[in-house]
Amino acid sequence: MSKAAPFDMATFLRFDTVDKKTFFYQVSTIFAAASIVYIVGKCIYNRYFHPLRHFPGPVAASLTEFYLPWSFYFGVAEHVTDEQRHARYGSITRKAPNVLQIDDPELLPVFNNRTTHKPKRVYYSPAWGVGDVPTILNQLHPKEHQVARKRLTPAFIGTAVKKMQPLMQKRVDEWIEKSWEYANEGTAIDWSKWTQSLAYDVITELVFGAPIGFVKTKTDVYGVLQQFKQATPYIGILNRLPWLVEAIWKSPLGSYLIPAADTPLGKIFSVRDRLLQERLDKSVDKPDILSVLLKGVNEDGSPVSLDVIKSESFILMAAGSETTFSVMCSFTINIIQHPRVYKKIMETDLSPENLAQEDPQFPYLYLAIKESMRLMHPAPSFFPRLVGKGGVTLKDGRFIPEGSEVAMNPYCVLRSKKIFGDDADQFRPERWIDSPPEQLALMETYNPIWSYGRTSCPGKPVAEMELLMAFRALLLNFVPEFANPEKPWDHITNYGSLVYEGLYIKLKPRVA
């Protein structure tokens, strides 16, 4: 048997003397071998030599960051996966080689403070379809985030929210009017879609200058709701691999991250641009969020660019609608499953006169909404933060080095028995008023319902007002019931927000 000819680098580099098939085979073999060596070596390092190697968690999570998108997409809903992981591995568990998942509420201020940076993971805006325009979403540095937040703050102060109330009331009234059509027909309503329709019409009224018309037409205009439903799993995958998104964005394929004009999302952008141009042409000053954006200025006093206004309005639309309709679903479920709570709400003053007061009082209704958000948080997902300079030493002596990522799923944090009591996994609105003073203080201090610290939701006042108005009107007109009491909904998905798939509600006209 003849021996193979020795490898000659000089001959190898002379393309004119080397068979092209052989050449490309050898190059591919070398590349494949090098890739395998790198991947194996990286996995070994992550598992046995990484600074976070001492923290427990699934083996796959310690080997590769591809575990993040894999568990997000193929696993059960992320909040369930996180809860199961904490039950098995403890309060601090490894979610990826450089990512820790924590459910201890008392660590919220440690990893969510004024100096905390956000990593590109989740917050890299090309994955959201808005390019690299600087918005409140993608400002990673605390100072830059504060500048972006400052532009929006005037829209969410008390007087501004009060002025927006008639705009929101108009949308709620239309929703109730259309709900009566369902009630009179005895039709079971797909409650996720119907509450989503209201949430989108309210927020587009406020940030685009006019509603898209989901409620009025009782249809999915332009297929936007379905588009969001289909897109969120893939956005979630891309957000968990920021280096991949960055590579795509900077390549010739980057244009594909911006929705084309003929797609449902592209059509929404077209509607937004048209309404914005109409506002600019007519110089109308409406008491809405768009007016605040149009009057916004940068730190140097220059006006905010039109691209920023467009991108901010889209981010507000997505964030302000997906979470709102999720809360509307969980609240409806809770009051049906807990007749005592429903009865107590109905014994309070839900009159229009009360709503018209300078400081309307809906204490128990508000507590029931707050408790629904605590128990079934609308965005029980992945919001990592970077560990700052010098790292963090935990009480047990373990060290989390600078540059590590730490995530705290609000679903898990808000069910902490240490803070919210032994019945933390139960729906009980009274906990917010009858718990001991010391516990009440802890519950309010370590409460990420609206996020935490400097990144807390700026739109909280508007969202709370919308929820109060919608539930007040709903309960004054109807008694909601499950269309299928034996199985109220098919399943729950969580690709960033909690969605009750197959939740059908019948509205029974209320007899005063």
- The pTM (predicted TM-score) of the whole model is 0.89
Say whether pLDDT at 47 is over 70. Answer: yes
Our CA dihedral for 316, 321, 327, 329, rounded to 10 degrees, sits at -170
Provide φ and ψ at 406, rounded to 5°.
-125, 130
33 and 173 in a single domain? The answer is no
Hey, what are 150's tokens? 């400052």
From the list 380, 290, 397, the residue with the least C-alpha distance to 76 is 380
Cα 156 to Cα 288: distance, rounded to the nearest angstrom: 10
Provide φ and ψ at 241, rounded to 5°.
-130, 70
DSSP letter assigned to residue 274: H
Query: Does residue 361 sit within a domain?
Result: yes
Cα 489 to Cα 496: distance, rounded to the nearest angstrom: 19
| DSSP-derived secondary structure for 202-252 | HHHHHHTSS---HHHHTS-GGGHHHHHHHHHHHHHHHHT-HHHHHHHHTSG
192 and 127 in a single domain? The answer is yes
H-helix or E-strand containing 375? helix 363-375
**pLDDT digit string, tens, across residues 109-155:** 999 887 787 776 655 555 455 556 667 777 767 787 788 888 888 88
Residue type, 510: R
Residue 506: Cβ within 10 Å count? 18
Region 366-371 average pLDDT: 94
195 and 296 in a single domain? The answer is yes
Higher pLDDT, 23 or 232: 232
List Cβ neighbours of 274 (8 Å cut-off, separation of 6 or more). Answer: none
Query: Does residue 88 sit within a domain?
Result: yes
Provide φ and ψ at 401, rounded to 5°.
-75, 160
Which of 162-166, 194-198, 315-319 has the least mean pLDDT? 315-319
Query: Does residue 1 sit within a domain?
Result: no
Tokens 């919210």 belong to: 420
39 and 160 in a single domain? The answer is no
Tell which of 9, 31, 51 closes a domain.
Answer: 51
Domain count, the chain: 2
Segments forming the whole domain that contains residue 45: 22-51
**pLDDT digit string, tens, across residues 77-112:** 999 999 999 999 999 999 999 999 999 999 999 998
Cα 105 to Cα 453: distance, rounded to the nearest angstrom: 13
Cα 486 to Cα 69: distance, rounded to the nearest angstrom: 34
What CATH number has the domain bearing residue 181?
1.10.630.10
Hey, what are 172's tokens? 């709620």
Say whether pLDDT at 12 is over 70. Answer: no
Alpha helix stretches (DSSP H) within 240-362 = 242-249, 264-282, 289-294, 306-337, 339-346, 352-356
Query: Does residue 378 sit within a domain?
Result: yes
Q: How far is CA 466 from the centre of its chain?
A: 18
37 and 160 in a single domain? The answer is no
Query: Does residue 10 sit within a domain?
Result: no
223 and 175 in a single domain? The answer is yes
Q: What's residue 19's pLDDT?
A: 67
Hey, what are 119's tokens? 């990593």
**Cβ–Cβ < 8 Å for 322, 459:** no
30 and 143 in a single domain? The answer is no
**Cβ–Cβ < 8 Å for 419, 443:** yes
Query: Does residue 460 sit within a domain?
Result: yes
Our CA dihedral for 306, 310, 315, 316, rounded to 10 degrees, sits at 90
Residue 7: pLDDT band with limits 50, 70, 90: low
From the list 423, 424, 313, 438, the residue with the least C-alpha distance to 377 is 424
46 and 114 in a single domain? The answer is no
43 and 165 in a single domain? The answer is no
Query: Does residue 7 sit within a domain?
Result: no
In the chain the first and final C-alpha atoms are separated, in Å, by 99
In sequence order, the β-bridge partners of residue 297 are: 303
204 and 278 in a single domain? The answer is yes
Query: Does residue 17 sit within a domain?
Result: no
Residue 450: pLDDT band with limits 50, 70, 90: very high
41 and 57 in a single domain? The answer is no
42 and 76 in a single domain? The answer is no
DSSP letter assigned to residue 395: T
Q: What's residue 59's pLDDT?
A: 96
